[in-house]
């Protein structure tokens, strides 16, 4: 079972006799998560067709990286530039 993370600043003050006072600030307790962990790719290679990563309601453990589309430019005989989109992959 997966657990959600709880992020909050915590201040603890100890008095005599021992008594604990805790200030959790703006605490949001999420509790246990009942979501699957995403087990697909975390790197996307762009194509000219739609791609869907099945991440809905899943916990992701890393950043998603989308590669850049390769673009090259060259001058042409008319004095302008020709742009080539896409690579050799």
Residue pLDDT, tens place only, 27-84: 665 555 567 889 999 999 988 899 999 998 888 889 999 998 888 999 999 999 999 9
| Residue 16 pLDDT > 70 | no
pLDDT recorded at residue 87: 65
3-state secondary structure 44-66: ECCCCCCCCCCCCCEECCCCCEE
pLDDT recorded at residue 74: 92
Can you tell me which residue has the tokens 């992701």?
A: 60
Residue pair 35/5 in contact by the 8 Å Cβ criterion:
no
Question: pLDDT band at residue 5, thresholds of 50, 70 and 90?
Answer: low
Q: What is the pTM of this model?
A: 0.48
């Amino acid at each position: 079972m997966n657990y959600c993370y709880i992020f909050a600043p915590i201040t603890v003050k100890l008095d005599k006799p021992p008594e604990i006072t805790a200030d959790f600030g703006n605490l949001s307790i999420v509790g246990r998560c009942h979501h699957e962990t995403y087990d697909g790719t975390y790197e996307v290679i762009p194509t000219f067709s739609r791609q869907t990563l099945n991440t809905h309601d899943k916990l992701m453990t890393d950043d998603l990286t989308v590669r850049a589309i390769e673009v090259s430019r060259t001058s042409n005989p008319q004095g302008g530039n020709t742009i080539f989109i896409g690579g050799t992959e």
